Amino acid sequence: MESPTIERYLPVLAEILADVLDIDAAEISLDSQFDDFDIDSISVVETVMRLEEHFGIVIEARRLRSLKRVEELVALLDQLVQAKAGQSKAAQS
């Protein structure tokens, strides 16, 4: 059974990456290495923009380029979404 974090982010991430890279989403797993895909700088920017739009977060493209595995990106997404949620709660107080 996958954790709630994985269930929340992996399907969206796989769908976006599959669309941007023109591959089958089934090829993307937590263990996938970004080096296994043909990711150029334009693909990185498009992926960042789509993830930002979907999750309502800001991702520095250079930060994404430093990641090696899909699992690391899932962890980053969780961290950024949680930080945004914390900021929203603090602003409401």
Question: What pLDDT is attached to residue 92?
Answer: 60
pLDDT tens-digit series, residues 35-82: 999 888 899 889 999 999 999 999 987 787 789 999 999 999 999 999
- Three-state DSSP class for 62? helix
Q: How confident is the model at residue 7 (pLDDT cuts 50, 70, 90)?
A: confident
Domains of the chain, start order: 4-87 (1.10.1200.10)
Checking if the pLDDT of 6 tops 80, the result is: no
Checking if the pLDDT of 93 tops 70, the result is: no
Integer CA distances (angstroms), 29 to 7, 60, 81, 87, in order:
12, 23, 20, 30
For residue 15, what are its two tokens?
A: 């769908």
| Sign of the torsion formed by the C-alpha atoms of 82, 62, 71 and 44 | positive
Residues 6+ apart with CB under 8 A from 24: 18
Question: What pLDDT is attached to residue 1?
Answer: 43
Question: What pLDDT is attached to residue 19?
Answer: 97
- Tell me what the mean pLDDT of segment 13-21 comes to: 96
